[in-house]
Amino acid sequence: MAQELASINLVAPAFQGINTEDSPLAQDPSFAEVADNAVIDQRGRIAARKGLSVITTNKTVLGSAEIRAIKEFKNDAGTTKVFSVGNNKIISGTTTLVDETPGGYSISADNWKMVNFNDSIYFFQRGYAPLIYNTIASGTSGGANTDLVLLSSVNSSAGVVSAIYGNEVLAAYGRLWTADFSADKSTVYWSDLLAGHIWSSGSSGSIDISKVWPDGYDEIVALSAHNNHLIIFGKRSVVVYSGATAPASMTLADTISGVGCVDRDTVQATGTDVLFLSQTGLKSFGRTIQEKSMPLSSLSGTITKDIIATLTAETAFFRSVYHPEENFYLLTFSNENLTFCFDLRGTLDNGSYRATRWPETGFTAYVRQDNGTLLIGSVHGIGKYSGYQDNSDSYLFKYTSPELSFGDPAKLKFLKKLRSTILGGKDSVIVVRWAYDFNSSSAVEEITLTGPSFAEFNSAEFNEDEFTNGLFIARPSVNTSGSGGTLSINMESDIDGKEMSLQEINVLALTGKTT
Amino acid sequence: MSFHDEWGKDAAAVALAAAGAAFAKKGYEDTGRIGERAYKGMSGEGGLADVLSDRLQFQPYTVTTATGGKFGMSQAPSTGSVGRVNPGLGRVNPGLFSDAYNAANDSPEVAAAFAAGASPQASANELAAFNLGVPDINNDGRISNQEFSSWSGYDAWNQANGGQGFLVNDANDPGGMPGSRFTGQYNADGTPIYVQTGAASTTGGTGGAGGDPAAGGDPAAGQQYVPGAMDYKLTLSPDEEAFYEARLKGSQGMFEAAETDTAVREQEVYDRMIAAMAPERDRERLALEERLAGQGRLGVRTSMFGGTSEQLAQAQAEEEARNQTILNSMTFAGQEQSRQAQLGAGMLSAGYIPQAQLLGALQPGMTGAEQQRQSVSQATNAYGETYAAGLEALLTSALGQAGIAGGFGTSMATAALGGLFGK
């Protein structure tokens, strides 16, 4: 007797991002096994990320190297200047990259940390004399400086010695703070109030926390400021001082043992919290403070093993950015050429953020400009996170579902048709694959998204002329074959200038006998 | 009248004249002898002058206080004259104090006897008795025969010296004469040689007086009698002397301490005060260190404070305390110096209290001695007057007798001669 096709709808599949931690069989289809070059869009759908729109046209000074760090400097007059580092140079500009390295200043590493402070931008790297681009007069002749100069050369500078050539610098509470020196991993120096060039007079000072580490010994990796606290990240612990507005009298507020920070460039302040990458995944400072006496949760709980493996394999550098416009936190492992995208709009039941992966992007630096633009550094120079091409090249948007049992893995499922609802990607080719019972080989079908359908969601039509195109919606269907107890579905498409998101997957199948 | 009558008459006159002359001569000679006798009786050796001189000779005395301190007086050795001074001499024989006497008088034995309380008038035997430990019971600086014989060691000494009962003075032994000194030498027969004041050495058994022109002394013209220089000695008892010396020594120490540069003392006081404050200071430092460690601020270094503001405050407090300690130590050292000077002055004053008390006791003693002297002087005066009166009566009688004889003789001669030449 013919059975009626059962329709199993996967609405907003993978809207909870990747989950490589839970058992595939027990997984909610809202998770994805694979979500590459994807984001969770504003409607909670898995969608293709935006691309890299390179704006640099002249990268001669960069050579074949990549941009390792980007920072936008904006002075009190509102004039902006974008600084970046790469190819052992200090570079300015976005379209034409200009070498701003001070004459006679030799650079052999590009691990610079740049901060804006008091109408100046400061450049710090371990073992290197700090640099400044500012309006502070240099030397004794007075007058604003318009070049990048040594911090020690500006007027009234004091105490700018090798002791403060730190790898980490923080601008907070009216001072510059620096730490992580070649021969000292336990001291934090702070500058005079509103004077990032004065380190040995006024209200400048230092604090040695070697006697404060909760485990006896640790090394400072990063600094952060949050809620009148100075957060000092070690490799295996975190020390928090309150009253950092008056550092001479700030007191120890808290210590967290067992949780540290991997790299200074993974620390991002989100306004209400501070995110950082620890040895066990992405952590939230606020959550860490709250939960230190309880089992710790991880913000990357759905991809813990993946992120730890990637972290362990990483031999170069880390980069991160918080972009409130896109509501995500990007974490890039440069040598692994892998970026994790954490959606910050909400957390999952286990407290984790929804995560997707961006493999093979080549992204090596990020900065969010004041106007909300996300600038991305790469070997191509500087680009914007916009469009849907990576420097005019396509990239693969890929979704793989977990093994779907449809509630009864013991019964055979005969997949008859896959019908998906895809937004965007007009004329794009979608490769659909399906496999049964954890089989690695799968059947494949290609579909091209065609059709003039337009989505007019939430658009009132009273007294409106319909002259403009809306978002392209396609509902391609694929006739499938085969059977099995569980089913996994894979869809991938080259994103080449068109956005694409997966709204729904409708699975039409017959349920067979029990296997 | 015949020749024979005339010649007989003349012969009788001549004979009568001669007899008268003889009476006159007798009266003249008697008058001379009376003068001689008067001179001898008044001024000759052993005469009234000598007796009065002996009796009126200044008797040194000693005032002894209840605590054993003594004020005594003595004639300084080898000064003035000792014993009788004959007015006929008019002066003291410069040989009165011979070199032999001075040498004997300056001997250690004599000095020891003087230290034991002997007076310069003591004889050689008495000096020896002092050195034997014979007690001067009446503290007059002399040892009488009674004092000698009542000495507890007399029997043993007597036995050791032949058991003949010798005493210090038998009126013959030169060694018993007041002021005599043993020269340390002996005659060939073994008798000791003594020396008197101004005299050549005298041997034992014979006395000698010096300076008597009747004995052959030849006083030099123009020299005056010089009374002996008196030594007035205040002697403290052993306890008093020990107290005095102790106070003096203490006073010296205090003054030496007061004269010491205060810088050294200031440093000592400062070091002790800092050491006393050290435990509390260390506790406060430790408390601050623990407080800072609890606040995680132990490693804070600031340009404004050096360390933390609390550490700066503590360092400032310590420095202020140190400065105050310096000032306090300087003040203390100065006050201590003043105290030491006051103590030294007090000790010095206290050391002289026994002496002052002794001097205070002196007046009563002097008063008593003066009364004694006045009594002796009065008695001597009475004696002298009485003696002189008697002598005068005797001389007057003798003069009368001489006058009668002389007058009769004169009358006889006058009558006789007058009859002879009157025809």
Interface check A204 vs B, CB under 8 A: yes
Q: Tell me the two tokens of residue A283.
A: 């952590």
Lowest mean pLDDT among A172-176, A375-379, B53-57, B338-342: B53-57
From chain A residues 452-481, the ones with a CB under 8 A of any chain B CB are none
CA A418 to chain centre: 33
Four-point Cα dihedral B239, B240, B245, B246, nearest 10: 70
Q: Is A392 helix (H, G, I), strand (E, B) or coil?
A: coil
Asked whether the beta carbons of B254 and B87 are under 8 A apart, the reply is no
CB-CB neighbours of A42 under 10 Å: 11
Confidence class of residue A115 from pLDDT cuts 50, 70 and 90? very high
Partners of B300 on chain A (C-beta within 8 Å) are 205-208, 247-248
Q: Per-residue b/e over A300-316, b at no fewer than 16 CB within 10 Å?
A: bbbbbebbbebbeebee
Q: Above 80 in pLDDT, residue B57?
A: no
Local structure of A46: helix, strand or coil:
strand
| Rounded mean pLDDT, B416-420 | 75
DSSP state string for A304-367: HHHHHHHHHH--S-EEEEEETTTTEEEEEETTTTEEEEEEEEEE-TTSPEEEEEEET----EEE
pLDDT tens digits, B266-315: 999 999 999 999 999 999 999 999 999 999 999 999 998 889 999 999 99
Return the biggest CA–CA distance within chain B: 178
- Spatial strand order of the sheet with B300-302 comes to A168-172, A175-179, A187-190, A205-208, B300-302
Strand partners, A491: A399, A432
Q: pLDDT tens, A353-363?
A: 999 999 999 99
Radius of gyration of chain A from Cα atoms? 26
B308 touches chain A (CB under 8 A): yes
Residue A136 has a pLDDT of 62
Tell me which of A91-100, A119-128, A302-311, B353-362 is least confident.
B353-362
Asked if pLDDT for residue B211 goes beyond 50, the answer is no
Say which residue, B368 or A419, is predicted with more confidence.
A419
pLDDT at B204 over 70: no
Residue A10 pLDDT exceeds 90: no
Is residue A37 within 8 angstroms of chain B, CB to CB?
Answer: no
| pLDDT of A445 higher than 70 | yes
- Quick one: which of A272, A288, A274 has its CA closest to A320? A274
Rounded distance between C-alpha atoms, residue B343 and residue B321, angstroms: 31
Residues of A in contact with B299 (CB under 8 A): 186-187, 206-212
The highest-confidence range among A137-151, A421-435, B200-214, by mean pLDDT, is: A421-435
Quote the CA–CA distance of B101 and B385 in Å, as a whole number: 36
Enter the DSSP assignment of A239. Answer: E
Per residue in B330-378, pLDDT (tens digit) is: 999 999 999 999 999 999 999 888 888 888 887 887 788 788 888 888 8
Distances (CA, A) of A1 to A4, A6, A149, A507: 10, 15, 85, 21
DSSP A113-146: EEEEETTEEEEEETTEEEEEEESSPBTTS-S---
Residues of A in contact with B297 (CB under 8 A): 207, 249-252
Name the nearest CA neighbour of A32 among A488, A385, A420, A396. A488
**Is A207 in contact with B301 (Cβ distance < 8 A)?**
yes
**ipTM exceeding 0.85, yes/no:** no
Query: Best of A241, A251, A254, A256 to disrupt the B interface by mutation (most B CBs within 10 Å)?
Result: A251
Reduced to 3 states (helix: H, G, I; strand: E, B; else coil), residue A492 is strand
- From the number of C-beta atoms within 10 Å of its C-beta (0-12, 13-18, 19+), residue B6 rates as exposed
What distance in Å separates the CA atoms of residue B279 and residue B302, rounded to the nearest whole number?
28
**Residue type (1 letter), A443:** A
Q: What is the mean pLDDT of residues A118-143?
A: 79
Mean pLDDT, chain A, rounded, equals: 88
Contacts of A250 in chain B (CB under 8 A): 297
DSSP B94: G
Structure-block tokens of residue B12 = 């009788």
Report pLDDT digits (tens) over A277-320: 999 999 998 766 666 554 456 899 999 999 999 999 999 999 99
**pLDDT bucket at A156, cuts 50 / 70 / 90:** confident
CB A386 within 8 A of CB A469: no
Please, are residues A151 and A130 in contact by the beta-carbon 8 Å criterion?
Answer: yes
